[in-house]
Amino acid sequence: MPKVTAEHRVARREQIVTAALTCVSEHGFHKTTMADVIRESGLSAGAVYGYFRSKDEIIAAIADQALGTVDDLFAEILSTEEPLTPAEAMRRVLVHVVAIAERPGGDITRIGLQAWAEAVHNPAIGAIAREKYKMLRGHYLRVVRRAQADGTVAADVDPEHVAQALFGLLPGFILQRLLLGDVTPESYSAGIDALFGSSTPQTT
């Protein structure tokens, strides 16, 4: 019965992570207690500890899942064959990020905020965040390269640097949306469009 058990384990872990995600999205990593997760998951303390060695391990799993979800999203949006301008790529990402954030079961962008704060002090989360963020930015890198290929973006600039800046627009959107609540994909995209058309002295 190894296979059944393996599937069972995966299902149980998912059940726990989902419960934890809900709790953490609402109260943050540190005000979420194991008792909260245990209650929300509908399991017993012993059961939860049968699938995760510690609270830190659950936190790592949440961060991994949350950032993984965003990675899947990016892969779907940005790996399309059609050429995307950087601005259009950003716009699509924003629309989908908001859509995912508004799904019931916990705002994934709030988990992101928690992960950022935790990553700086907690090596395990730091490693996960580093890995995932490199992947996320990698998707933008491909967009940038394509844009440089078709002349939308100056070709003599390190594409890594352009990807840094382009990807760098996302945390600011998430933050302003959660904190100030006055940004929308449309407003932010309009601002981006205006900026991207501004006649900036370019590196030649």
Partner DNA sequence: AATGAATGAGACTTCATTCAT
Partner DNA sequence: TATGAATGAAGTCTCATTCAT
Residues contributing to the site for DNA (CB under 7 A): 5, 8-9, 12, 31-35, 43-47, 49-51, 53-56
- Residues within window 5-34 making contact with a copy of itself, judged by CB under 8 A: 26-31
Our finding on whether 121 is near a copy of itself (CB under 8 A) is yes
Structure tokens at 150: 């078709």
119-122 long-range contacts, CB within 8 A, separation 24+:
119/63, 122/56, 122/59
Nearer to DNA, 46 or 201 (CB): 46
Instruction: Tell me the C-alpha to C-alpha distance, in Å, between residue 145 and each of 46, 102, 137.
Output: 50, 31, 12
Query: Which partner, DNA, a copy of itself, none, binds residue 195 by CB below 5 to 8 Å per kind?
Result: a copy of itself
Structure tokens at 36: 């909260």
- One-letter amino acid at 40 equals E
Our finding on whether 71 is near a copy of itself (CB under 8 A) is no
Query: Which partner, a copy of itself, DNA, none, binds residue 141 by CB below 5 to 8 Å per kind?
Result: none
Instruction: Tell me the C-alpha to C-alpha distance, in Å, between residue 77 and each of 41, 101, 105, 138, 173.
Output: 32, 16, 23, 13, 18
Query: Which partner, a copy of itself, DNA, none, binds residue 22 by CB below 5 to 8 Å per kind?
Result: none
Nearer to DNA, 13 or 142 (CB): 13
The residue behind tokens 């935790």 is 118
Structure tokens at 31: 């005000």
Q: Is residue 26 within 8 Å of residue 106, measured between CB atoms?
A: yes
- Kindly state the smallest distance separating residue 23's Cβ from a copy of itself, in Å: 11
What span, in angstroms and rounded, lies between the C-alpha atoms of 149 and 45? 55
- Kindly state the smallest distance separating residue 7's Cβ from a copy of itself, in Å: 21
Residues that bind a copy of itself (CB under 8 A): 26-31, 85-87, 110, 113-114, 116-121, 126, 129-130, 133-134, 137, 147, 152-154, 157-158, 160-176, 178-180, 182-183, 187-188, 190-203
